[in-house]
Homo-oligomer: A and B are copies of this chain.
């Protein structure tokens, strides 16, 4: 329990954001983060369509496959892209039709499907990736390098905070189930 005087001090000296039960600052932070993310995503989507007649989900999927020579399973790709398995299945289907991706069952475990870029897929992706990197640099060009570094670090802490909060809640749910 707080004494009346201590809460008086709180009322006088704290910012609006510190009012008990008020979380408007965090909300504004989230909305600003979302705005940045949406602006970038929409712009990249538009440029991929205009310059390469492709979509962001396809690009993202190919980007994962470009990181490996031995290929990647459906589950691995879905985890990395933070999308559902079914979604990977669907996007891959389109890429296979276009001859950019190859899919085959793993010989030692036939449940597993191994995805790889075809030679053409790798060539096409590399060309897009180069432009993509330029676009991103252009979009962030208005920030000083030091600020970009600072932002990168803060987003790292944010990621940690998010993972902790999400894992914490998953535990609660598991406890409830048991």
Contacts and interface: CB of A to CB of B under 8 A. Distances in A.
A142 B26 CA distance: 12
Q: Number of copies of this chain in the oligomer?
A: 2
A136 B23 contact: yes
A16 interface: no
B150 A30 contact: no
Interface string A148-161: 10111011111111
A148 B29 contact: yes
Contacts of A30: 40, 136, 139-140
A104 interface: no
Interface of A is mostly: helix
A82 B38 contact: yes
A174 to B, nearest CB: 14
A39 interface: yes
How large, as a class, is the contact surface on chain A? 35 or more
A39 B23 CA distance: 19
Contacts of A17: 145
Given A139-B161, A161-B143, A33 B40 contact: yes
Contacts of A133: 23-24, 26-27
Interface of A: 17, 23-30, 32-43, 82, 133-134, 136-143, 145, 147-148, 150-152, 154-166, 169
12 contacts: A23-B133, A26-B133, A29-B152, A32-B156, A39-B82, A39-B163, A40-B162, A139-B165, A141-B161, A142-B160, A142-B165, A154-B154
